[in-house]
Amino acid sequence: MLIHPDRFDKNLTFKDLEFLCKNVGNRLSGSIGESKAAEYIADRFREVGKPITEKYPHSYYEGIDASITYLETGFTVSGKPMWMTKNTPEKGIESEGFYLGSINQINRITEKDIEEKIVFVFFSRDYFEPELFRQLKTLYFMKPKGVVILSTYHMNALRSDPFLEENSIFSIIPTILVPASKFISKIKEVNLGKFIMVVKGERKTGQLCNTSLKIEGKKQDTIVVCAHHDTVEYTQGASNNASGVAIILELSRKLSAIKPNFTYVFASFGGEEQGHYGVKKFLENSDIDNIILCLNFDTISPLPGFVASIVVGDETLFKIVQNVDLNNPYPAMSVNSTTNGGSNMIFAEKGIPSIMHMIRGTTNYGIDRTELDVVREDLLDSLGILGKYGIRLINRLDSMTEIEFSTGIPQNLEEEVENYFNRLNFYRN
């Protein structure tokens, strides 16, 4: 039995999105906010079945306060603590400043140049690009007294990022992130001044949560439909990724009304922003031999834009998705690649085909992982468009009498997946 795409209720989906963002708010993995989100998701799953919530001890970091003050004028800029950085003394640390400029200039200085100094480094790109991060590591191994990252990722908001391992070289050296536009214009000669840096943060231990719902089909072959409910700090995480969670909640409601051919597991993961910890635990506790495919919904941006799908699978699976694209009323495009690091990549690492579904919007540059990623009315249509697309794809998959695609992934994509996780290990060390 097929589900008509028009039955997807974007208004009900939007209400789920609003609750997660406005009533729960920030959902940092391990925090009370994440537990509240998992409880809400379980309640919604409970309307159609018997959900399971699994909890795991999890360490996390809450940035409390960060600032840098130019002593000559008393000019102070507020920022946010980076990584899992150690606290400074209550009055902060005082030192001369050293303006490196671009991190690409790291090779022109020595440890002696920055010894006992607060180093200011300018980033015009995402500092999680491999080459930039390699250069950043070089800076930290020179052991400056403190580091101030001047960011232009977004001119009006600071980007939060996953913390790195506790007691790494990054957490040992106090580090803050400030908007470049609010700082350098006030201080022309950083190298000639003295500064006080204050960093306050708290390392905590809580519970990371996974919540899932199983809808039994005629076959034990299982399709996992998933999203992640956690966020980084300082954000409601509407596009990334309360919207994905809201979509899978509505898809579960619609699929529960029929007897599907395959078995479906709807799963909402914690820990995606901190190394995919939640989905790893999920797969450790699952019978992965029965899982034939993962459908992951992540990063749904406001329109205009297009439905984007990243297919990690064989040519037949790719053609199935392309056919859904061609018959979709709203523009849709798929690529056969592993170019995005969502929860589905952990499935791909296990050799399980996966597809990551997004709305690539044209109005969200620099919003992801910032305080600007909040509930917006223009997300309503995005939810409806991607939700209907999800139904069309599920209809196509569930109409198979036998599995048409390989339940493994091609060797070239296996190599891409391996390279992806090698890069992740580079960031953790």
Helix (H) or strand (E) run with residue 110 in it: none
Number of helices (H), then strands (E), belonging to the chain: the values are 11, 14
Question: Is-cis flag, bond preceding 241, omega within 30?
Answer: yes
Q: Which two tokens stand for residue 21?
A: 């963002």
Q: Tell me the angle at which helices 411-428 and 130-141 cross, rounded to the nearest 10 degrees.
A: 20
**pLDDT attached to residue 166:** 66
Give the alpha-carbon dihedral of 187, 190, 195, 201, to 10 degrees.
90
Q: pTM for the complete prediction?
A: 0.92
Q: Nearest Cα to 332, choosing from 287, 416, 263, 388?
A: 388
DSSP code of residue 402: S
C-alpha span between 120 and 117 (Å, rounded): 10
Name residue 11's amino acid: N
C-alpha span between 343 and 346 (Å, rounded): 6
Name residue 216's amino acid: E
Strands (E), 216-288: 222-228, 263-269
The length of the chain is 429
**pLDDT attached to residue 428:** 64
**pLDDT attached to residue 47:** 96
Sign of the dihedral through C-alpha 421, 426, 427, 429: positive
C-alpha span between 24 and 72 (Å, rounded): 43
145 burial level (CB within 10 Å; 0-12, 13-18, 19+): buried
Q: Which two tokens stand for residue 259?
A: 């007897």
Three-state DSSP class for residue 207 = strand
Distance set, CA 14 to CA 249, 281, 364 (Å): 11, 29, 18
Strands (E), 152-272: 175-179, 194-215, 222-228, 263-269
C-alpha span between 120 and 150 (Å, rounded): 7
C-alpha span between 249 and 241 (Å, rounded): 13
**pLDDT attached to residue 168:** 79
272 burial level (CB within 10 Å; 0-12, 13-18, 19+): buried
Whether the CB-CB separation of 307 and 377 falls below 8 Å is answered with no
**pLDDT attached to residue 184:** 58
Q: Which domains does the chain have, with CATH numbers?
A: 5-60+206-428 (3.40.630.10), 64-201 (3.50.30.30)
Distance set, CA 315 to CA 3, 154, 335, 395 (Å): 26, 38, 11, 19
The full DSSP string for 151-164 is E-S-SSSPPP----
Q: How many C-beta neighbours within 10 Å does residue 362 have?
A: 11
**pLDDT attached to residue 367:** 81
Helix (H) or strand (E) run with residue 374 in it: none
Return per-residue pLDDT of the chain as tens, 429 residues.
Answer: 689 999 999 999 999 999 999 999 999 999 999 999 999 999 999 999 999 999 999 988 888 999 999 898 888 988 889 878 889 999 999 999 998 988 889 999 999 999 999 999 987 666 667 788 888 889 999 999 999 988 877 667 777 765 566 677 888 899 998 888 777 555 555 567 899 999 999 889 999 999 999 999 999 999 999 999 999 888 999 999 999 999 999 999 999 999 899 999 999 999 998 889 999 999 999 989 999 999 999 999 998 999 999 999 999 999 999 999 999 999 999 999 987 778 999 999 999 999 999 999 866 567 888 888 999 999 999 999 999 999 999 999 999 989 999 999 999 989 888 888 877 776 665
Q: Nearest Cα to 330, choosing from 356, 354, 360, 355?
A: 360
